[in-house]
Amino acid sequence: MSRRTERVNALIQEDLSELIAREVKDPRISGIISITKVEVSPDLRHARVHISTLGDEAEQKAMLTALQSAAPFLRRELNRRLTMRYTPDLSFRLDDSIRRGAELMALIHNLDSDEERTP
């Protein structure tokens, strides 16, 4: 991956995080949402956005649907913020890293609690 692509990935990730948190007014998008990774195609016309959130599977799918429907708005806003010839089309993918991290922390907490109980 070139340095330019890495910079574009970082810029899109930063701007999308801010836009989703402040500008998108969809009730299906609530709670902690984290953009874990952005992958832009070599021609900079498509971007795959990996998102992670807490919640059950139904909430995650509803949030993904809401983000897909907000994609044209987000693309227009990115076009205003970024000075690029082409603003990439956005596609969103679920990333379960926050959920896995929370489960891992719960396991570690349980291990610590078990060690304190045993003499």
CATH number at residue 103: 3.30.300.20
12 has pLDDT over 90 = yes
Alpha helix (H) residue ranges in 1-119: 3-22, 57-81, 97-117
Widest distance between CA atoms in the chain: 66
119 has pLDDT over 70 = no
Q: Which residues pair with 48 in a beta bridge?
A: 39, 91
Cα-based torsion angle of the residue sequence 51, 52, 57, 61 in order, rounded to the nearest 10 degrees: -20
Q: What's the pLDDT tens digit per position in 98-115?
A: 777 888 888 898 887 766
For the record, the structure tokens of 56 come out as 């059950």
Q: What's the pLDDT tens digit per position in 46-94?
A: 999 999 887 788 888 889 999 999 999 999 999 999 888 889 999 999 9
Q: Which domain holds residue 44?
A: 3-117
Report which of residues 53 and 36 the model is more confident about: 36
- Looking at the structure of the chain, the number of domains it has is 1
